[in-house]
Chain A
Amino acid sequence: MAKSMQELYEERMDRYWKANHLQKPDKVPFRPCAAELAGKIAGYTAQQVTHDPDLGLDAVVKMCQAVPGIDATVVNMVFVNTSVTESYGLKYYKVPGIDLDADDSFQYIEPQTEEDAFMKVEEYDRFIEDPNEFVMNVWLPRTSKYMVPPGEQNTWKNNLAWLKNGIAIQQYFQKLGANVARMQTETGTVSSLAGALKAPFDILADKFRGFRGIAYDLHRCPDKVLKATEAVAPHMAWNCIATADPSRKVPCSHWMHRGATGFFSEEVFEKFHWPTLKMVTEQIWEAGIQTIYYAEGKWARNLKHFRQLPEQSIIFHCDKDDIYEVKRVLGDRFAISGGVPNDMLAFGEPADVKKRVKQLITDFGPDGGYLLDAEAIMQQDVKVENFIAMAQACEEYGYI
Chain B
Amino acid sequence: MQESKSVPGVCFPWEEKKKEYAEIKGDEEVVKAWWETYDVHAYVHLWFCVTGL
Q: Which residues of A contact B (CB under 8 A)?
A: 79-80, 84-85, 90, 128-133, 135-136, 139-140, 165-166, 169-170, 196, 198, 203, 207, 226-228, 230-231, 234-239, 242-243
Measured CB to CB, the closest approach of chain A to B9, in angstroms, equals 6
> B2 near A85 (CB under 8 angstroms)?
no
Pick from B20-28, B29-37, B39-47 the stretch touching chain A. Answer: B39-47
State the CA gap A231–B1 with chains docked (Å).
Answer: 8
Interface size of B as a range: 20 to 34
Name A233's closest neighbour in chain B (CB-CB): B1
| B40: A residues at CB distance < 8 A | 242
| B3: A residues at CB distance < 8 A | 231
> A230 near B1 (CB under 8 angstroms)?
yes
> A128 near B8 (CB under 8 angstroms)?
no
26 A-B pairs with CB atoms under 8 Å apart are A79-B52, A80-B53, A128-B4, A129-B4, A130-B5, A130-B6, A131-B4, A132-B10, A132-B11, A132-B43, A135-B46, A136-B46, A139-B50, A140-B46, A169-B45, A169-B48, A169-B49, A203-B50, A207-B51, A230-B1, A231-B2, A231-B3, A234-B8, A235-B6, A235-B47, A243-B48
> B4 near A236 (CB under 8 angstroms)?
no
Most buried by B among A79, A132, A136, A242: A132
> A135 near B5 (CB under 8 angstroms)?
no
> B5 near A129 (CB under 8 angstroms)?
yes
State the CA gap A130–B13 with chains docked (Å).
Answer: 14
With A136-B46, A166-B45 as contacts: A198 and B5 at CB distance below 8 Å: no
With A80-B53, A85-B53 as contacts: A130 and B48 at CB distance below 8 Å: no
| A85: B residues at CB distance < 8 A | 53
Measured CB to CB, the closest approach of chain A to B2, in angstroms, equals 4
| B47: A residues at CB distance < 8 A | 135, 235, 239
> A198 near B6 (CB under 8 angstroms)?
no
Name B51's closest neighbour in chain A (CB-CB): A198
Measured CB to CB, the closest approach of chain B to A206, in angstroms, equals 9
| A196: B residues at CB distance < 8 A | 51-52
Measured CB to CB, the closest approach of chain B to A177, in angstroms, equals 14
State the CA gap A135–B6 with chains docked (Å).
Answer: 11
Measured CB to CB, the closest approach of chain B to A152, in angstroms, equals 19
State the CA gap A130–B4 with chains docked (Å).
Answer: 5
| A226: B residues at CB distance < 8 A | 2
State the CA gap A228–B1 with chains docked (Å).
Answer: 10
Name B9's closest neighbour in chain A (CB-CB): A238
> B50 near A227 (CB under 8 angstroms)?
no
Measured CB to CB, the closest approach of chain B to A174, in angstroms, equals 12
B2, B8, B45, B52: the one within 8 Å of A230 (CB): B2
State the CA gap A345–B14 with chains docked (Å).
Answer: 53
State the CA gap A198–B3 with chains docked (Å).
Answer: 19
> A235 near B8 (CB under 8 angstroms)?
yes
| A238: B residues at CB distance < 8 A | 8-9
| B10: A residues at CB distance < 8 A | 132
Measured CB to CB, the closest approach of chain B to A207, in angstroms, equals 6
A90, A130, A132, A207: the one within 8 Å of B46 (CB): A132
Name B3's closest neighbour in chain A (CB-CB): A231
Sorted nearest first, the 8 A-B pairs with minimum C-beta distance are A238-B8, A230-B2, A132-B6, A130-B5, A227-B2, A231-B4, A239-B47, A234-B8
Measured CB to CB, the closest approach of chain A to B44, in angstroms, equals 6
State the CA gap A166–B40 with chains docked (Å).
Answer: 13
